[in-house]
Amino acid sequence: MSKAILAAIGLLPWLFAPSQAQLGPATSGNPNAPGIAGEAPKGVATISDQAVDQINKFGTYDALKARMKKWNKEGKSAGEILAEDKAKAAALVASFKLQCRVTNAILVAVDDNANTKTYEVACDSGVGYFLVQGGAPGGSSGFTCFAAEAARAVDIAAKREPAIACGLPENPGSKAAAASILSQAGKACTIKDIKWRGQSPTTDFIETACAEGPGFTIWSPLPGSQAPVRIMACPISEMNGVACRLRDNDTALAAAKAALGRYKVSCDAQSVRVIGHETVKRRQVVEYFCPSQQPKGLVAYLPAEGSNEPFEAVDCLAAAKRQAVCTLTKPN
């Protein structure tokens, strides 16, 4: 599928290996990308109404009637049009060999110039998709609602017109969708935070932090993959190339905080950075960012287990005099 088509529906996914999945979400970067209920710029994909979303959220058939008037030449009812959308989307899912039983679907975009149609699809697995049909040979493609929501958030943060997001009631947003997926897998997780970690050519990676303890990554298949949705606890996920980095899941952060605790140093660290190792004393040099106290930053010199070298903790100004420069905070 061409970049122009992807830009028209508001997402330019970057494909990278699982080991790089922490790089974060792609974004359209397109200041003219249409929003979920907006009209596309002239010459770009025509955004249809989000009919089911409109009906469920606003209790009106006005948007669906507008679509029927514009596209329906056969006198079909709203229900018949939506049933056709679901059937066509199910056929598209089958062509992609996705492990997905379609529970709902709607046509959301048509680009006559590129000869493409884009469907939003909800699956019984809890994963939602935008699937693009047509275009050049082999041009059909798709991406998850997780990726779409991440791209939209980046656009909003950058004060650009936001990319399109999933709107079907069965695709309720990343937190609710992830909670449903984890529940189906028998995982207890009251989600505190969630982050789309990127994608490989076959899989989306979503990290969740849970109130009950260390979280999980959800491995959602992309079009072309026949794999089921997979759930991995963070330590297992890291062994498989996708590291957890949310604060409550970061094992490196937990270990670094525990090291300070052993020496009775108070620091509710939000982030840590290994600066390096001393060549003579062979202590690990670690920077800590402690925003709720003074100094906000400190550098600890952690002796190896069994070493007789002393532990030290100094502020960033003192550390800079030792050529250990803080980057997580300004020198105190």
- Output the pLDDT for position 280: 85
Tell the residue number behind the tokens 């199910």, with chain if given: 90
Per-residue pLDDT of the chain (332 residues; tens, 9 = 90+): 333 333 333 333 322 222 222 222 333 333 222 222 222 223 323 333 343 343 333 333 344 555 566 666 666 777 787 888 899 999 999 999 898 999 999 888 778 888 888 899 999 999 999 999 886 666 678 899 999 999 889 889 889 888 778 888 899 899 999 999 999 999 989 999 999 998 888 999 999 999 888 899 999 999 888 899 999 998 788 878 888 888 778 767 777 888 888 888 888 888 888 888 888 888 889 999 988 888 889 999 998 877 889 999 999 999 999 999 999 876 54
Angstrom distance (rounded) from CA 90 to CA 97: 10
Pairwise CA distance, residues 6 & 135, whole Å: 11
Q: Which two tokens stand for residue 265?
A: 């140093």
pLDDT score at 6:
34
Spatial separation of the C-alpha atoms in residues 146 and 228, rounded to whole Å: 16
Cβ distance 104 to 86 under 8 Å? yes
Q: Residue 154 in contact with residue 25, Cβ under 8 Å?
A: yes
Q: What is the pLDDT of residue 267?
A: 85
* Six token digits for residue 303: 């002796």
**Under 8 Å between Cβ of 86 and 94:** no
Q: Detail the DSSP E strand segments found in 225-283.
A: 230-233, 271-277
Supply the pLDDT for residue 137: 62
pLDDT of residue 279: 81
In contact, 127 and 72? CB cutoff 8 Å: no
Distance CA 155, CA 145 (A): 15
In total, the chain counts a number of residues equal to 332
Q: Are 160 and 26 in contact (CB under 8 A)?
A: no
State the pLDDT at residue 209. Answer: 93
**How far is the C-alpha of 145 from the C-alpha of 151, rounded, in Å?**
10
**Strand partners for 301:** 285, 312
Q: Does residue 47 contact residue 39 with C-beta atoms inside 8 Å?
A: yes
